[in-house]
Each structure stands twice: as structure tokens, then as C-alpha cells.
């Protein structure tokens, strides 16, 4: 019995202990990584919403503009130019979504790996040096992920701005904007006469 107690004490004292600083770094990372993962999911939702917004706008353009073959040559050229730009933006968004989904799979894999590793840390199976090395790697992954998301956000914002401008130009080319303005003007004239 005494041998068993000594062996237990020896085993417990051999377990690697982490500094308070390293423990804090691991806990801070958990919090930051969870937030970053949630932000990534929210960004994917925004991308889906923007893609739907563009598709809805294209359908609306088709209804509003009607048969574009009867348009004047210059207006038709402008429409073709706008639609080519819309198509290019649509392809970019499709590529962006594919890249996002692949990237998210990688983040999910890292989340699982970190959770498994953190469980070993909690069991005292990781020493200080190994913990610091692992955290350097995880922190780099998080910094890279945040930088990637920031660049995607900038690209998507610019793309959506371009898309909205294209839609306005298309509406103007097929005279829809003018028709609405004329309709508003007639309404105002009627109000003025009352």
C-alpha cells in the first residue's frame, strides 16, 4: 500500500505544470477563436444574402426592361456592357463562396484539433515548451484567418457597390429610371393642381 501511495505521488509530481501566463494565453485564445469562428459564419450569411440580393435585382431588371432587342443601339450597347460586368461579378461571388466554404472547413478542422489539444492540456499531458509552440501556431492561424476575412470583406463591399451601380446603369439604359421620374413628376403635377 505504501508503494502504491509513493508511486501515485511520484506520478502526480511528474505531470507537467504550465505557467499562469501560458494558461491565460490558452484561455484567451479559446475566447478569441470562438468569436472569430462566429464572425466567419456571419460573414458567410452576409455573402449568401448579397448573392440573393443580386439575383433578385437581375430578375427585377428583366421584368422592368422587358424586350431589350427593341432598344436603341447605344442603349443596347450600354445594357450589354452592364450585363457583362454583372456576369463577371456573379462569377467572382461564386468563386468567393467556394473559397469561403473550403476555408471554413479548415477552420472547423482547426477548432476540433484545438479542442482535443486543450483536453490534453487540462489533463496535464502538455509541458510548457510544447504549449508555447502549439499556441504560436494557433495564434498565427487566427491572425491569418482574420486578415483573410478582412480582405474578403473589402472585396465583397467593392463588388456589391459595383453591382448596384451596374443595376442603376441598366435601369437608366432601358429607360426605367426615366419612366419612374416622369411618373413621379406627373403625380406631383396632379398634386399641384388639386
pLDDT digits (tens, 9 = 90+) for 132-147: 999 999 999 999 999 9
User: Cα 187 to chain center, whole Å?
Assistant: 43
**Does residue 90 fall inside a structural domain?**
yes
In a domain, 192, yes or no: no
Output the pLDDT for position 97. 96
In a domain, 75, yes or no: yes
Which tens digits make up the pLDDT trace of 12-70? 445 668 999 999 999 999 999 999 999 999 999 999 999 999 888 888 887 887 777 77
pLDDT at 141 (0 to 100):
96
Using the Cα atoms of residue 84, residue 90, residue 93 and residue 98 in order, give the sign of their dihedral.
Answer: negative
Could you give the CA distance from residue 28 to residue 66 in angstroms, rounded to a whole number?
Answer: 57
- Are the C-beta atoms of 29 and 139 separated by less than 8 Å? yes
Q: Please report whether residue 33 resides in a domain.
A: no
The CA–CA distances, whole Å, from 99 to 76, 106, 153, 167, 179 equal 34, 11, 13, 26, 41
Count up the domains in the chain and report the number.
Answer: 1
pTM above 0.85, yes or no: no
Query: Does residue 184 fall inside a structural domain?
Result: no
Please, are residues 83 and 170 in contact by the beta-carbon 8 Å criterion? Answer: yes
Residue 154 lies in a domain: yes
The whole domain housing 71 covers 48-118+138-176
Q: Is the residue at 170 inside a domain?
A: yes
Contacts of residue 125, defined as CB under 8 A and 6 or more positions apart, other chains included, come to 15, 16
- Length of the chain, in residues: 194
Is residue 165 included in any domain, yes or no?
yes
Amino acid at each position: 500500500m505504501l508503494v502504491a501511495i509513493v508511486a501515485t505521488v511520484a506520478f502526480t509530481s511528474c505531470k507537467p505544470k504550465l505557467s499562469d501566463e501560458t494558461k491565460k494565453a490558452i484561455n484567451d485564445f479559446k475566447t478569441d477563436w470562438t468569436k472569430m469562428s462566429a464572425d466567419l459564419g456571419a460573414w458567410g450569411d452576409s455573402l449568401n444574402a448579397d448573392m440573393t440580393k443580386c439575383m433578385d435585382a437581375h430578375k427585377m431588371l428583366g421584368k422592368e426592361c422587358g424586350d431589350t432587342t427593341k432598344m436603341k443601339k447605344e442603349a443596347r450597347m450600354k445594357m450589354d456592357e452592364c450585363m457583362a460586368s454583372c456576369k463577371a461579378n456573379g462569377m467572382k461571388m461564386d468563386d468567393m463562396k467556394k473559397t469561403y466554404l473550403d476555408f471554413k472547413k479548415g477552420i472547423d478542422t482547426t477548432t476540433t484539433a484545438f479542442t482535443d489539444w486543450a483536453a490534453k492540456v487540462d489533463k496535464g499531458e502538455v509541458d510548457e515548451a510544447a504549449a508555447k509552440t502549439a499556441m504560436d501556431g494557433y495564434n498565427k492561424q487566427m491572425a491569418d484567418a482574420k486578415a483573410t476575412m478582412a480582405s474578403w470583406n473589402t472585396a465583397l463591399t467593392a463588388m456589391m457597390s459595383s453591382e448596384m451601380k451596374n443595376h442603376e446603369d441598366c435601369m437608366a439604359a432601358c429607360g426605367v429610371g426615366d419612366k419612374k421620374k416622369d411618373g413621379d413628376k406627373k403625380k406631383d403635377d396632379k398634386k399641384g393642381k388639386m
